[in-house]
């Protein structure tokens, strides 16, 4: 076992390599491309024995992933943001085939306006697809989650695609120390894939995802998909526990950091949650009892863990790095639904939206969120949801608007002058 | 924890430099986090990279707001607002800058009280800039005071092995020379004390108000606004046309220019728009009579300044 500096993308590629994947349908997109570049290089130098095929779009790529998985081979693929959305039709379809594979999504904010830096609206658009979701906060976790994801996806009680999510830039291009175990240790944990009934073969026609009408059969198949996803809660706990025994690292469905005696807890997902961890340490140094609850699993939603961890807390600040237009933060409403009517549920559940398009969250903003939560507890009244946004940021936008406005005026002057010419 | 920020242009090796420093810290048993940050993903465009290194696992992430050490590979970036070279710099920050100007000149220019060091490179020779990353990282390693000479060498071998032994050797000699030159300043960089959660300045959060779509849609109601962005600032080499040698073919250079920065006038003479030429040198390679030459941008600007003053 060696400890080495790897980017999140590199860690994902190592996970695919050591899990022994057979087939990788690929299509490039920033900030994910380094994953398929790395794997392509290994295949080229015979360090990895797998077949990579570049497709003409993510729509075809996800179709190929599902189709290959249906032949009983182990499949890996990766995409990001616009690419995930372009393949969205097939993402929902292949989940219904019950053909397991692992897809890495490197989170990046969605257009419009176009951006490259991360938030979670891309991966949340796949929330209801039937694919399971694991959200990572460090490069080590990316590697480890790849192995856990294959165990989860291929388990006979589940048989669903799993998406491993890592944030663009803050994980994808960031190097951190990563323990990479040797091939044998990984094989002992991941095992080989037994496809059982999913054995699509040449010259032996079968149909995946057939048409059904009338609602009855459709409801049956869709609800079975839901039950498979619900099974994944139990299966996840088992395969994560087994992972801990093999490799000595714990990856609970929900990470709890200094939560037990906390009065106030942050709830957040993804790589910025490590910043919340750092803030928790500093707040503890200042004598405040604060902790962090971080869901790694988003689908299936681990509400039992959330309920248990947040029970008896005085206040909870949910930090969403996403925005559902017309609602607000997605995680906030999911946590609220888990806690509603529960004995010992926190009275104050505050909503913050932050980190859209990779916008940084400063230390003092974590401190201030705790101060706002404390005031809400004292007053007995939760403030409205808040977007973390400063005066200085708005000033920058005003500058851009001023430039755009001058150009708009010039264009109007030019077009009215043209009108004059014609008359 | 040390917090270090590298600034340079795409192609000057700042990503490699940050990774070498990361490797060196890792060899010294530090916990490490390093990352490049690209905007335009183009040669010559401003990029930055950062390294964090400490004895405990690192939970901080993303941009470094208050660096202990800022390394500037290309001094022409300092006045470029988008490059953010001076962002979050305070009196205890150490600045290491590749410049012909003296540290005193930079202190005055930047109105900066702290330590400024300049790099011992012959900036007149632009070919040296191929190795500026190695020079930067060598000097930085000594300023940090916790990286041994042999650890720096090992870090370079790890990072550059794929480039072949010749490149490794050149980079090693540059980096180690810079390391040695900073002997008197060893350990000049000290990690900042982290801000306390008991006593912090609250953020000036505001409530965003609704604004109608005429203002709040991300649209620019005008064409060709990209001309307002002077991408010529990214250029490190300048193509210069010798009009006596130009055979007025009227199309090769202008057609190959990927940025449409070459126009041909009514007499068939090509003209380069230096506000938008990024200095890719494709025209230099394509011109049939070799009438376009590559000139160091710094030299060209110095010459222009001289002409303007006379």
Alpha helices in A52-129 (DSSP H): 58-70, 81-86, 88-97, 121-124
Check residue B305 and give its pLDDT. 87
Query: Nearest residue on chain B to A286, judged by CA atoms?
Result: B198
Compute the residue count for chain B: 310
Question: Is residue B148 scored above 80 in pLDDT?
Answer: yes
Query: Nearest residue on chain A to B61, judged by CA atoms?
Result: A275
pLDDT band at A205 (very low <50, low <70, confident <90, very high): confident
**pLDDT (tens digit, 9 = 90+) per residue, A236-269?**
999 999 999 999 999 999 999 999 999 999 999 9
* Same domain, residue pair A44 and A100: yes
Query: Looking at CA atoms only, how far is residue B162 from chain A in angstroms?
Result: 13
Q: What is the 3-state secondary structure (H, E, C) of A31-57?
A: CCHHHHHHHHHHHHCCCCCCEEEECCC
**pLDDT (tens digit, 9 = 90+) per residue, A210-225?**
899 999 999 999 999 9
Contact B201 A410 (CB under 8 A): no
Spatial contact of A307 and A233, defined as CB atoms under 8 Å apart? no
Query: Looking at CA atoms only, how far is residue B107 from chain A in angstroms?
Result: 27
Among B41, B204, B220, select the one facing A407 at the smallest CB separation: B220
Domain count, chain A: 3
Residues from chain A that touch B61, judged by Cβ atoms under 8 A, are: 170, 174, 271-272, 274-275
* Same domain, residue pair A67 and A190: yes
Q: For residue A245, with 0-12 CB atoms within 10 Å meaning exposed, 13-18 middle and 19 or more buried, which class applies?
A: exposed
CA distance A334 to A349: 11
Query: Cα–chain-centroid distance for residue A266?
Result: 18
Distances in Å between the alpha carbon of A326 and those of A223, A318, A330? 28, 18, 11
* Nearest one of A70, A76, A58 to A22, comparing CA atoms: A76
**pLDDT (tens digit, 9 = 90+) per residue, B5-26?**
999 988 889 999 999 999 999 9
Rounded average pLDDT over B160-180: 95
Query: Nearest residue on chain A to B221, judged by CA atoms?
Result: A408
Of A178-187, A360-369, B227-236, the least confident:
B227-236
Q: Checking DSSP bridges between strand B46-54 and strand B31-38, what pairing results, if any?
A: antiparallel
**What totals of helices (H) and strands (E) does chain B contain, helices first?**
9, 10
* Same domain, residue pair A228 and A362: no
Residues from chain B that touch A283, judged by Cβ atoms under 8 A, are: 197
Check residue B96 and give its pLDDT. 97
Question: Is residue B224 scored above 80 in pLDDT?
Answer: no
* Same domain, residue pair A238 and A258: no
Torsion, CA B266, CA B268, CA B274, CA B280, rounded to 10: 140
**Mean of the per-residue pLDDT values of chain A:** 95
Tokens of A264: 């106030």
* Same domain, residue pair B40 and B111: yes
CA distance A222 to A130: 9
Question: Is residue A172 scored above 80 in pLDDT?
Answer: yes
Tell me which residue has tokens 């806690």: A339
Contact A365 B203 (CB under 8 A): yes
* Final residue belonging to a domain, choices A247, A263, A288: A247
Query: Nearest residue on chain B to A407, judged by CA atoms?
Result: B222
pLDDT band at B120 (very low <50, low <70, confident <90, very high): low
CA distance B169 to A236: 50
* Final residue belonging to a domain, choices B185, B209, B239: B185
Which residues, at least 6 apart from A402, have a Cβ–Cβ distance to it below 8 Å?
none
Domain count, chain B: 2
* Final residue belonging to a domain, choices B168, B185, B202: B185
Inter-chain contacts counted by CB atoms under 8 A, chains A and B = 123
Q: For residue B257, with 0-12 CB atoms within 10 Å meaning exposed, 13-18 middle and 19 or more buried, which class applies?
A: buried
Contact A389 B208 (CB under 8 A): yes
Q: Which domain holds residue B301?
A: 230-309
Provide the 8-state DSSP code for B226.
Answer: G
Check residue B11 and give its pLDDT. 82
* Same domain, residue pair B166 and B87: yes
CA distance B91 to B190: 12
Rounded average pLDDT over A17-23: 98
pLDDT band at A305 (very low <50, low <70, confident <90, very high): very high
Residues from chain A that touch B222, judged by Cβ atoms under 8 A, are: 404, 407-408, 410-411
Instruction: For an interface test with B, give the residue of A175, A282, A396 to mutate (most B CBs within 10 A).
Output: A175
* Same domain, residue pair A350 and A371: yes
Contact B59 A281 (CB under 8 A): yes
Contact B59 A278 (CB under 8 A): yes
> What percent of chain B is helix, strand and coil (3-state, nearest 5)?
40, 15, 45
Q: Which domain holds residue A417?
A: 396-423
Query: Looking at CA atoms only, how far is residue A217 from chain B in angstroms?
Result: 44
**What totals of helices (H) and strands (E) does chain A contain, helices first?**
14, 15
Contact B195 A282 (CB under 8 A): yes
Among B61, B206, B225, select the one facing A391 at the smallest CB separation: B206
């Amino acid at each position: 076992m060696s400890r080495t500096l790897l980017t999140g993308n590199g860690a994902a590629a190592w996970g695919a390599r050591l899990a022994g994947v057979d087939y990788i349908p690929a299509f490039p997109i920033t900030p994910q491309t380094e994953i398929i570049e790395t794997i392509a290089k290994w295949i080229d130098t015979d360090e990895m024995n797998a077949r990579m095929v570049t497709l003409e779009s993510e729509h075809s790529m996800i179709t190929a992933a599902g189709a290959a998985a249906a032949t009983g081979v182990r499949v890996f693929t990766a995409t990001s943001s616009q690419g995930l959305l372009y393949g969205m039709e097939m993402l929902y379809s292949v989940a219904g085939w019950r053909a397991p594979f692992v897809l890495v999504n490197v989170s990046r904010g969605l257009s419009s306006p176009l951006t490259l830096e991360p938030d979670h609206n891309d991966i949340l658009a796949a929330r209801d697809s039937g694919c399971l979701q694991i959200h990572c906060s460090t490069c080590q976790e990316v590697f480890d989650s790849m192995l856990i994801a294959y165990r989860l996806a291929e388990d006979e009680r589940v048989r669903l695609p799993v998406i491993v999510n890592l944030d663009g830039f803050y994980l994808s291009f960031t190097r951190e120390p990563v323990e990479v175990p040797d091939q044998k240790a990984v094989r002992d944990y991941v095992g080989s894939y037994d496809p059982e009934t999913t054995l699509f073969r040449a010259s032996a026609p079968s149909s995946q995802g057939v048409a059904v009408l009338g609602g009855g059969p459709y409801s049956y198949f869709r609800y079975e998909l839901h039950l498979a996803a619900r099974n994944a809660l139990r299966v996840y706990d088992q395969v994560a526990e087994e992972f801990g025994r093999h490799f000595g690292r714990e990856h609970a469905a929900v990470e709890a950091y200094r939560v037990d005696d906390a009065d106030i807890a942050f709830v957040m997902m993804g790589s910025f949650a490590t910043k919340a961890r750092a803030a928790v340490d500093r707040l503890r140094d200042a004598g405040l009892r604060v902790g962090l609850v971080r869901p790694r699993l988003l689908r299936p939603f681990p509400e039992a863990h959330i309920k248990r961890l947040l029970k008896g807390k005085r206040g909870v600040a949910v930090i969403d790095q996403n925005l559902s237009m017309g609602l607000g933060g997605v995680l906030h409403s999911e946590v609220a639904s888990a806690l509603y009517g529960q004995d010992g549920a926190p009275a104050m559940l505050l909503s913050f939206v932050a980190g859209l398009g990779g916008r940084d969250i400063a230390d003092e903003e974590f401190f201030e969120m705790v101060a706002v939560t404390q005031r809400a507890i004292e007053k007995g009244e939760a403030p409205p949801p808040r977007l973390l946004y400063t005066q200085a940021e708005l000033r920058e936008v005003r500058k851009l608007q001023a430039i755009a406005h001058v150009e708009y005026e010039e264009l109007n002057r030019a077009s009215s002058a043209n009108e004059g010419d014609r008359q | 924890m040390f917090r270090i920020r590298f600034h340079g242009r795409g192609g000057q090796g700042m990503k490699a430099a940050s990774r070498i420093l990361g490797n060196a810290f890792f060899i010294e048993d530090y916990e490490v986090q390093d990352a490049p940050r690209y905007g335009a993903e183009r040669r010559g465009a401003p990029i930055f990279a950062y390294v964090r290194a400490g004895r405990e696992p690192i939970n901080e992430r993303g941009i470094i707001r208050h660096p202990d050490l800022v390394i500037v590979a290309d001094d022409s970036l300092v006045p470029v607002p988008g490059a953010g070279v001076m962002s979050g710099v305070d009196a205890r920050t150490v600045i290491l800058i590749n410049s012909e100007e003296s540290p005193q000149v930079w202190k005055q220019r930047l109105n900066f009280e702290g330590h400024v060091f300049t790099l011992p490179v012959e900036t007149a020779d632009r070919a040296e800039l191929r190795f500026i990353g190695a020079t930067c990282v060598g000097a930085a390693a000594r300023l940090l005071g916790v990286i041994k000479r042999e650890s720096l060498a090992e870090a370079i071998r790890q990072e550059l092995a794929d480039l072949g032994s010749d490149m490794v050797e050149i980079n090693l000699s540059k980096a180690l020379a810079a390391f040695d030159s900073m002997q008197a300043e060893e350990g000049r960089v000290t990690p900042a004390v982290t801000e306390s959660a008991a006593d912090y300045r609250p953020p000036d959060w505001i409530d965003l108000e609704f604004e109608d779509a005429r203002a709040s849609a991300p649209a620019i109601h005008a064409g060709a606004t990209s001309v307002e962005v002077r991408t010529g600032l990214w250029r490190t080499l300048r193509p210069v046309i010798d009009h006596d040698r130009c055979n007025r073919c009227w199309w090769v250079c202008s057609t190959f220019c990927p940025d449409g920065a070459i126009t041909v006038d009514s007499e068939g003479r090509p003209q380069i728009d230096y506000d938008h030429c990024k200095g890719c040198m494709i025209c230099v390679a394509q011109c049939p009579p070799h009438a376009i030459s590559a000139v160091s941008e710094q030299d060209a600007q110095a010459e222009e300044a001289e002409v303007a003053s006379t």
